[in-house]
Chain A
Amino acid sequence: MNKVVLSADAAVADIASGATVMLGGFGLCGIPETLIAALVRLGVQGLHTISNNMGVDGFGMGLMLEAGMIASHVGSYVGENRRLETMVLQGQLDLTLIPQGTLAERIRAGGAGIPAFYVPTGLGTVVAEGKETRQIGERMYVLEHALHADVALVKAWKGDRLGNLVYRKTARNFNPAMATAADLTIAEVEELVEPGELDPDQIVTPGIYVDRVVVGAAYRKPIEAEFIRSGGAA
């Protein structure tokens, strides 16, 4: 078995306009830089993206936003992304904000065959509006549904041709959960190793979840706080 695709452009070539795409990362940490660049080159339109953040102006998913290829977005945080905030306030982008933990669990559920589940999060807020609530024991809970995507683009540290992945430090974040929750999962890795080189006890994403592996190159990995402070020059 060999899931390695030689170029990022080839790996994303069959992603269609209008697809629902999950993208791993927290801020600019652990984002699939190489696959995002390839997706922007591919030039698809009307994507429905699911990602905790949406990069910043000039980097990460911010580049997809600038390319006008995103029709709607589901995430938990806008933070310092000025373009995104402006587009949302002006009604140019359909943004759904959901609690970060609920986002993570909805993705996990999507990959785990759990259609819906109850959480206490968001009870009595706009997040719970229109959703079923139920008392279990002494507490009220909100019913949340699983999230699934056509494509997940994830970033790992090391991987092998079977799709086994390990992550590095806090660059793990949403990547392992998203890898399980899409019809097509494409992983970019910093380093491709031979099967058997990764300690089986340390593998975080078993290869069954991964369809394609791409080796990324020329990582910039800007630190978001510094990138914003320097006006994008970091």
Chain B
Amino acid sequence: MSGKERIARRIALELRDGFYVNLGIGLPTMITAFVPAGMDVTFQSENGMLGVGPAPAAGAADPDLINAGKQPVTELPGCSYFGSEESFAMIRGGHMDMSVLGAMQVDEAGNLANWTIPGKMVKGMGGAMDLVAGARRVIVAMEHQTKEGASRILKACTLPLTGTHVVHDIVTELCWIRVSAEGLVLTEVAEGLTPQEVQARTEAKLIVSPEVRTMAMVGA
């Protein structure tokens, strides 16, 4: 099982019946595959849809029906469409129970950076700034380190920010971290790892919770 899949399976445990959830492009979208059986979760796509269904069968894609990652999707019964202004009214207005999005960097203050690397990469913030400002719970889902082995969880972000004091939880293939007023609290570590080993791969200071436990996940 890949690290990304472990992250998706772990975050799926946070879903609750009746939740309205927005998933970012890439890794967060993988969570749709791990909604616990019998649970009713409605996925929102910020380009104007509630009730996003799975990818269509080969050859059945409708170019007028895509998700925010510009991939073809399908309708679930009871889905609805709306314009971008309405879509972000529901995001900004605090109606989304949960927003899961990727990041390049997160820091001890719950700041998040995920839209540009000055001089190197211009990606754009898309809806990320609105989501972190408006969702009731913001979960960052990302791989713990860069491909070069650098920590993505820093004392202070160095890249231009997406939001300040907005992240509630950070989930990587190595651990679960809760952002608190006191700092980053390590609450779960992946099987086979110790809190010390996680700290060694993390620039930010981690406060090890007295109740720290092994990371669980859906279907494993």
Contact = CB atoms under 8 A, between A and B. Distances in A.
A27 B68 CA distance: 9
| Chain B binding surface, main DSSP class | loop
A125 B161 contact: yes
Given A28-B70, A29-B70, A169 B81 contact: yes
A209 interface: no
B87 interface: yes
B65 A175 contact: no
Nearest to A30: B64
Contact of B130 (A84, A85, A102, A223): A102
B183 interface: no
B199 interface: no
Interface stretch (B12-20, B120-128, B139-147, B173-181): B120-128
A174 B129 contact: no
A125 B162 contact: yes
Contact of B84 (A98, A174, A222): A174
Contacts of B83: 104, 172-177, 204
A125 B88 contact: no
B87 A104 contact: yes
A102 B128 CA distance: 11
A122 B47 contact: no
Given A29-B47, A125-B161, A125-B164, A100 B88 contact: yes
A187 to B, nearest CB: 14
Interface of A: 26-30, 52, 75-79, 84-85, 88-89, 95, 97-105, 107-108, 119-127, 157, 167-177, 204, 221-226
Interface of B: 45-49, 61-72, 75, 81-85, 87-89, 91-92, 111, 115-116, 119-130, 133-134, 160-165
